[in-house]
Amino acid sequence: MMPMTEKEGVADQQYECVAEIGEGAYGKVFKARDLKNGGRFVALKRVRVQTGEEGMPLSTIREVAVLRHLETFEHPNVVRLLSWCWVARSSIRVILTLWLVYILIHYNLMLCLSSMETLNLPGDTLRDMMHQLLQGLDFLHSHRVVHRDLKPQNILVTSNGQIKLADFGLARIYSFHMALTSVVVTLWYRAPEVLLQSSYATPVDLWSVGCIFAEMFRRKPLFRGNSDVDQLGKIFDVIGLPEEEEWPSDVAVPRNAFQFRHPQPIEDSVPDIDEQGKDLLIKCLTFSPAKRISAFLALSHPYFKDVQKHKDSVDSHRPCSQNSGDDSTAGTKTA
């Protein structure tokens, strides 16, 4: 795709920014009007790209290629990437801005949970949403993509209760046990191996799913640390201090840096969860990545045995109050 000036590429040619609806460390998200497609509203994500002497980095090109490849499958639980473009501006050095164009969806899971106030999600609705989340994640993992930033803000909810995984700003094609930067996943949803700066792969996403699963019952995060070490402490308060043989050998933080704790009953932290849900949650929040359940196996867990019976009634159990018309990602943040 040809480069263009930022003003011409976004405002004047095809997309008219209407409002900023999210901001994060990697860029901003705007609600925009697509002037070449009937004025429909889209989500326009702007990502600043570090450039080298060769122009756009290969890693950025690869990430866009991954998103475009996934789009060919049109998976119902992965947000649709409509288009993309890049903008070049020259000053002392070339600055590249990547624009990703997505469908616009009204709500994310964080807004849905906050809108519930003191009410719990209906059990069938929670089960169906978890099943959809795992279907989207299994699809990503089957294509060797690790999301790396799953959190309620990045899980979109359409007006008919459909779950869509979003915000692939940190997603990568993985090799098994690759060494990647530890600056991934919002702190409260980081797996122990990430906090310990050990090697990791797709199991990091299942840990995040476990944290989100618990939050859907609690309506507040399960582990709320203020640093990597504090976060590990919060985790061990619930799951207990792992055995010495489970502690990774390739980390700087030794096991004896933490006080011994026995594991606590998970229902003490998530009091409304049933027995099958408790078993699934424990399998997601397993310290050892090798022993943690996969998205594929989680979909066959007994917790979901009746999920198909309730598919037809999803519309009658909408998790939050939603307006008809176009969906919009109000409050959506970049990673």
pLDDT digits 0-9 by tens, 197-230: 998 889 999 999 999 999 999 989 999 999 999 9
Q: Single out the residue of 332, 294, 289, 295 nearest to residue 75, CA to CA.
A: 295
Residue 57 has pLDDT above 90, yes or no: no
Residue 326 has pLDDT above 50, yes or no: no
pLDDT in tens, 132-146: 999 999 999 998 888
Question: What are the sequence ranges of the domains in the chain?
Answer: 6-103, 107-309
Tell me which CATH homologous superfamily contains domain 107-309.
Transferase(Phosphotransferase) domain 1 (1.10.510.10)
Q: Which pairs count as long-range contacts for 117-125, CB under 8 Å and 24+ apart, including other chains?
A: 120/217, 120/219, 120/272, 121/216, 121/217, 121/319, 122/317, 123/274, 124/306, 124/310, 124/313, 124/317, 125/161, 125/314, 125/317, 125/318, 125/319
Query: What is the pLDDT at residue 8?
Result: 42
Greater confidence, 281 or 102? 281
Q: Is 45 annotated among the ligand-binding residues?
A: yes
Residues 6+ apart with CB under 8 A from 119: none
Catalytic residue list = 149
Alpha helices per DSSP H over 201-319 = 203-218, 228-239, 266-269, 275-284, 295-298
Greater confidence, 137 or 25? 137
Query: What is the pLDDT at residue 334?
Result: 35
* CATH architecture for segment(s) 6-103: 2-Layer Sandwich (3.30)
The residue-averaged pLDDT of 229-249 equals: 96
Neighbour-count burial of 182, counting CB atoms closer than 10 A to its CB (0-12 exposed, 13-18 middle, 19+ buried): middle
| Average pLDDT value over all residues in the chain | 80
pLDDT in tens, 162-172: 999 987 655 55
| Residue 93 identity (one-letter amino acid) | R
Query: What is the pLDDT at residue 178?
Result: 44
Number of neighbours of residue 52 by Cβ within 10 angstroms: 10
Query: What is the pLDDT at residue 44?
Result: 86
